[in-house]
Amino acid sequence: MPLSRINSKSIIDLGVAQADIADASVNDAKLTTTGVSTVVGSEWGEGVDSKIFGGGSSSSIVVPVFTVTNKGRLVTSANQSLSLTTFGGITSTAFSTSGVLIGSSITSNSSISGGSISGTSLTVTGTTKLQQAKEKVTLNGTTSAINFDALTSSIVYFQTAGGSNFTVNFRGDGGTSLNTLMSDGEAMTFVILVTNTTATYPTSFTIDGSAPGIVKWVSPGVPSGGNANAIDAYTITIIKRSSASFTLLGSQTKFA
Protein backbone atom coordinates (compact mmCIF):
# COMPACT_ATOMS: atom_id res chain seq x y z
CA MET A 1 0.00 0.00 0.00
CA PRO A 2 1.48 3.41 -0.96
CA LEU A 3 2.12 5.77 1.91
CA SER A 4 -0.45 8.16 0.44
CA ARG A 5 -3.14 5.58 1.13
CA ILE A 6 -2.24 5.08 4.77
CA ASN A 7 -4.78 6.93 6.90
CA SER A 8 -6.73 6.38 10.06
CA LYS A 9 -9.46 4.51 8.23
CA SER A 10 -7.13 2.07 6.54
CA ILE A 11 -5.47 1.36 9.85
CA ILE A 12 -8.78 0.82 11.64
CA ASP A 13 -10.05 -1.66 9.04
CA LEU A 14 -6.66 -3.45 9.01
CA GLY A 15 -6.07 -2.44 5.42
CA VAL A 16 -2.37 -2.10 6.12
CA ALA A 17 -0.73 -5.43 5.35
CA GLN A 18 2.55 -6.45 6.94
CA ALA A 19 4.10 -6.79 3.48
CA ASP A 20 3.40 -3.08 2.82
CA ILE A 21 5.85 -2.02 5.52
CA ALA A 22 9.56 -2.65 5.05
CA ASP A 23 10.86 -3.95 8.40
CA ALA A 24 14.34 -2.55 8.83
CA SER A 25 14.68 -3.94 12.35
CA VAL A 26 16.98 -6.76 11.17
CA ASN A 27 20.46 -5.30 11.04
CA ASP A 28 24.03 -6.31 11.74
CA ALA A 29 23.83 -5.01 15.29
CA LYS A 30 21.24 -7.64 16.10
CA LEU A 31 23.50 -10.37 14.79
CA THR A 32 26.83 -9.44 16.36
CA THR A 33 26.28 -11.57 19.45
CA THR A 34 25.68 -14.80 17.57
CA GLY A 35 29.32 -15.76 17.25
CA VAL A 36 28.72 -17.29 13.84
CA SER A 37 30.72 -16.96 10.63
CA THR A 38 30.37 -13.88 8.46
CA VAL A 39 30.31 -14.32 4.68
CA VAL A 40 30.14 -11.86 1.84
CA GLY A 41 26.60 -11.53 0.54
CA SER A 42 27.58 -10.73 -3.02
CA GLU A 43 25.87 -13.88 -4.28
CA TRP A 44 22.59 -12.10 -3.58
CA GLY A 45 23.79 -8.92 -5.27
CA GLU A 46 23.80 -7.02 -1.99
CA GLY A 47 27.55 -6.46 -1.63
CA VAL A 48 27.25 -6.59 2.15
CA ASP A 49 28.12 -9.09 4.83
CA SER A 50 25.60 -11.69 5.89
CA LYS A 51 25.32 -14.16 8.75
CA ILE A 52 25.01 -17.95 8.70
CA PHE A 53 22.84 -19.65 11.30
CA GLY A 54 22.83 -23.35 12.09
CA GLY A 55 25.25 -26.10 11.14
CA GLY A 56 27.31 -28.29 13.42
CA SER A 57 30.39 -30.39 13.91
CA SER A 58 31.31 -33.96 14.85
CA SER A 59 30.60 -33.24 18.53
CA SER A 60 27.62 -30.86 18.48
CA ILE A 61 24.73 -29.53 16.43
CA VAL A 62 24.15 -25.78 16.08
CA VAL A 63 20.49 -24.75 15.95
CA PRO A 64 19.41 -21.18 15.09
CA VAL A 65 17.12 -19.60 17.68
CA PHE A 66 15.02 -16.52 16.82
CA THR A 67 12.57 -14.44 18.81
CA VAL A 68 9.94 -12.73 16.66
CA THR A 69 7.09 -10.52 17.83
CA ASN A 70 3.55 -11.13 16.63
CA LYS A 71 4.03 -8.19 14.26
CA GLY A 72 6.87 -9.96 12.52
CA ARG A 73 9.72 -7.98 14.07
CA LEU A 74 12.92 -9.93 14.74
CA VAL A 75 13.93 -9.18 18.33
CA THR A 76 16.82 -11.57 19.02
CA SER A 77 18.78 -14.05 16.98
CA ALA A 78 21.55 -16.42 18.01
CA ASN A 79 22.95 -19.91 17.61
CA GLN A 80 22.46 -22.56 20.28
CA SER A 81 24.92 -25.47 20.40
CA LEU A 82 23.35 -28.79 21.36
CA SER A 83 25.60 -31.64 22.44
CA LEU A 84 24.67 -35.32 22.51
CA THR A 85 24.05 -34.93 26.24
CA THR A 86 21.51 -32.18 25.54
CA PHE A 87 19.45 -34.48 23.34
CA GLY A 88 19.58 -37.35 25.84
CA GLY A 89 19.30 -40.03 23.17
CA ILE A 90 19.97 -40.87 19.56
CA THR A 91 17.66 -42.88 17.33
CA SER A 92 19.11 -44.23 14.11
CA THR A 93 18.38 -47.19 11.91
CA ALA A 94 21.97 -47.30 10.67
CA PHE A 95 25.09 -45.59 11.93
CA SER A 96 26.52 -45.82 8.42
CA THR A 97 24.42 -42.83 7.37
CA SER A 98 26.13 -40.56 9.88
CA GLY A 99 29.59 -42.13 9.93
CA VAL A 100 30.90 -42.04 13.49
CA LEU A 101 29.15 -41.74 16.85
CA ILE A 102 31.29 -39.80 19.33
CA GLY A 103 30.38 -39.55 23.00
CA SER A 104 31.47 -40.63 26.45
CA SER A 105 28.27 -42.49 27.28
CA ILE A 106 24.85 -43.49 25.98
CA THR A 107 22.12 -43.82 28.59
CA SER A 108 18.42 -44.63 28.76
CA ASN A 109 18.35 -46.43 25.43
CA SER A 110 16.61 -49.77 25.13
CA SER A 111 18.61 -50.80 22.07
CA ILE A 112 21.27 -49.69 19.61
CA SER A 113 21.00 -50.85 16.02
CA GLY A 114 23.82 -50.31 13.57
CA GLY A 115 26.87 -51.69 11.86
CA SER A 116 29.58 -51.35 14.49
CA ILE A 117 30.78 -49.41 17.50
CA SER A 118 34.55 -48.90 17.56
CA GLY A 119 36.76 -47.71 20.36
CA THR A 120 39.39 -48.74 22.85
CA SER A 121 36.75 -50.06 25.25
CA LEU A 122 33.02 -50.34 25.81
CA THR A 123 31.57 -50.18 29.32
CA VAL A 124 28.06 -51.52 29.88
CA THR A 125 26.42 -50.94 33.25
CA GLY A 126 23.79 -53.49 34.24
CA THR A 127 22.85 -56.88 32.84
CA THR A 128 23.87 -57.44 29.22
CA LYS A 129 21.93 -59.69 26.86
CA LEU A 130 23.71 -60.99 23.74
CA GLN A 131 22.07 -62.91 20.95
CA GLN A 132 25.43 -64.10 19.65
CA ALA A 133 29.07 -63.08 20.09
CA LYS A 134 32.24 -63.58 18.06
CA GLU A 135 35.73 -63.49 19.53
CA LYS A 136 38.96 -62.67 17.72
CA VAL A 137 41.35 -65.62 17.42
CA THR A 138 45.07 -65.13 16.69
CA LEU A 139 46.26 -67.97 14.46
CA ASN A 140 49.89 -69.00 14.99
CA GLY A 141 52.14 -71.70 13.56
CA THR A 142 54.11 -74.08 15.75
CA THR A 143 54.48 -73.36 19.44
CA SER A 144 56.95 -70.70 20.57
CA ALA A 145 57.29 -68.12 23.32
CA ILE A 146 54.50 -65.56 22.90
CA ASN A 147 53.31 -62.22 24.19
CA PHE A 148 49.57 -62.66 24.55
CA ASP A 149 48.14 -59.23 23.65
CA ALA A 150 44.77 -58.74 25.34
CA LEU A 151 43.95 -55.81 23.05
CA THR A 152 44.35 -58.03 19.98
CA SER A 153 42.40 -61.18 20.84
CA SER A 154 41.27 -63.46 23.64
CA ILE A 155 42.30 -66.76 21.97
CA VAL A 156 45.63 -67.88 20.53
CA TYR A 157 45.56 -71.04 18.40
CA PHE A 158 48.78 -72.91 17.56
CA GLN A 159 47.57 -74.81 14.50
CA THR A 160 50.65 -76.82 13.56
CA ALA A 161 51.82 -79.80 15.58
CA GLY A 162 55.40 -79.95 16.75
CA GLY A 163 57.57 -77.15 17.99
CA SER A 164 58.70 -77.11 21.60
CA ASN A 165 57.57 -76.17 25.05
CA PHE A 166 56.99 -72.43 25.38
CA THR A 167 56.30 -69.53 27.74
CA VAL A 168 53.40 -67.08 27.77
CA ASN A 169 53.47 -63.41 28.83
CA PHE A 170 50.13 -61.62 29.15
CA ARG A 171 50.04 -57.89 28.38
CA GLY A 172 47.79 -55.25 26.81
CA ASP A 173 49.99 -54.88 23.75
CA GLY A 174 53.50 -53.68 22.92
CA GLY A 175 52.77 -50.25 24.41
CA THR A 176 50.16 -51.09 27.07
CA SER A 177 50.58 -53.20 30.17
CA LEU A 178 47.83 -55.50 31.40
CA ASN A 179 48.14 -53.71 34.74
CA THR A 180 47.19 -50.44 33.02
CA LEU A 181 44.44 -52.06 30.97
CA MET A 182 42.69 -53.58 34.00
CA SER A 183 41.22 -51.93 37.08
CA ASP A 184 41.19 -53.44 40.56
CA GLY A 185 38.46 -56.05 40.90
CA GLU A 186 38.31 -56.87 37.18
CA ALA A 187 38.93 -60.23 35.50
CA MET A 188 39.89 -61.26 31.96
CA THR A 189 39.87 -64.77 30.51
CA PHE A 190 42.20 -66.06 27.79
CA VAL A 191 42.47 -69.36 25.93
CA ILE A 192 45.58 -70.98 24.40
CA LEU A 193 45.00 -73.87 21.99
CA VAL A 194 47.96 -76.16 21.27
CA THR A 195 47.92 -78.77 18.50
CA ASN A 196 50.12 -81.68 19.55
CA THR A 197 51.69 -84.79 18.10
CA THR A 198 54.12 -84.75 21.02
CA ALA A 199 53.48 -83.45 24.50
CA THR A 200 54.19 -79.74 23.97
CA TYR A 201 52.90 -77.42 26.68
CA PRO A 202 53.41 -73.94 28.24
CA THR A 203 55.99 -74.15 31.01
CA SER A 204 55.39 -70.75 32.62
CA PHE A 205 53.04 -67.75 32.64
CA THR A 206 53.93 -64.13 33.39
CA ILE A 207 51.98 -60.86 33.43
CA ASP A 208 53.78 -57.80 32.06
CA GLY A 209 57.00 -59.78 32.32
CA SER A 210 56.62 -60.62 36.02
CA ALA A 211 55.31 -63.58 37.99
CA PRO A 212 51.54 -63.24 38.36
CA GLY A 213 51.39 -63.76 42.12
CA ILE A 214 48.76 -66.31 43.17
CA VAL A 215 48.51 -69.19 40.67
CA LYS A 216 45.94 -71.96 41.05
CA TRP A 217 45.15 -74.83 38.69
CA VAL A 218 42.18 -77.14 38.35
CA SER A 219 42.97 -80.64 39.69
CA PRO A 220 45.26 -82.48 39.14
CA GLY A 221 47.32 -79.30 39.41
CA VAL A 222 50.09 -77.53 37.47
CA PRO A 223 50.46 -79.08 33.97
CA SER A 224 53.70 -81.00 33.57
CA GLY A 225 53.17 -81.95 29.94
CA GLY A 226 50.82 -81.86 27.01
CA ASN A 227 48.70 -84.58 25.42
CA ALA A 228 50.02 -86.25 22.28
CA ASN A 229 47.75 -86.45 19.20
CA ALA A 230 45.29 -83.96 20.68
CA ILE A 231 44.49 -80.28 21.01
CA ASP A 232 45.13 -78.97 24.50
CA ALA A 233 43.15 -75.95 25.63
CA TYR A 234 44.62 -73.83 28.42
CA THR A 235 41.98 -71.51 29.89
CA ILE A 236 43.48 -68.74 32.00
CA THR A 237 41.46 -66.29 34.08
CA ILE A 238 43.40 -63.33 35.47
CA ILE A 239 41.95 -61.30 38.35
CA LYS A 240 43.52 -57.98 39.28
CA ARG A 241 43.50 -57.46 43.06
CA SER A 242 45.55 -54.27 43.20
CA SER A 243 48.27 -52.57 41.17
CA ALA A 244 50.55 -55.24 39.64
CA SER A 245 48.98 -57.84 41.94
CA PHE A 246 47.07 -60.64 40.22
CA THR A 247 45.51 -64.05 40.79
CA LEU A 248 45.81 -66.51 37.90
CA LEU A 249 43.35 -69.42 37.68
CA GLY A 250 44.15 -72.04 35.05
CA SER A 251 42.87 -75.28 33.60
CA GLN A 252 44.10 -77.75 30.98
CA THR A 253 41.53 -79.56 28.83
CA LYS A 254 42.31 -82.31 26.32
CA PHE A 255 40.40 -82.47 23.01
CA ALA A 256 41.22 -85.76 21.33
pLDDT tens digits, 181-229: 999 999 999 999 999 988 999 999 999 999 999 999 998 899 999 999 9
Conformational region of residue 223, where left means phi above 0, alpha means psi within -120 to 50, and beta covers everything else: beta
Length of the chain: 256
Output 51 or 155, whichever has higher pLDDT: 155
What is the mean predicted confidence (pLDDT) over 159-176?
A: 92
CA 182, 158, 228: angle at the middle one, nearest 5?
A: 120
The H or E element that residue 217 is part of is: strand 213-217
- 3 pLDDT more than 60: no
What's the pTM value of the predicted model, to 2 decimals? 0.59
Question: Which of 115-124, 136-145, 178-187 ranks highest by mean pLDDT?
Answer: 178-187
Confidence category of residue 106, pLDDT binned at 50, 70, 90? low
Q: 107: pLDDT confidence band, cut at 50, 70 and 90? A: low
Residue 246: per-residue pLDDT:
97
* Separation between Cα atoms, residue 234 and residue 193, nearest integer Å: 6
> Helical H runs in 25-100?
28-31, 84-87
pLDDT at position 206 is 97
Better pLDDT: 130 or 23: 130
Domain range list for the chain? 33-123, 137-255
Tell whether the model's pLDDT for residue 11 goes beyond 90. Answer: no
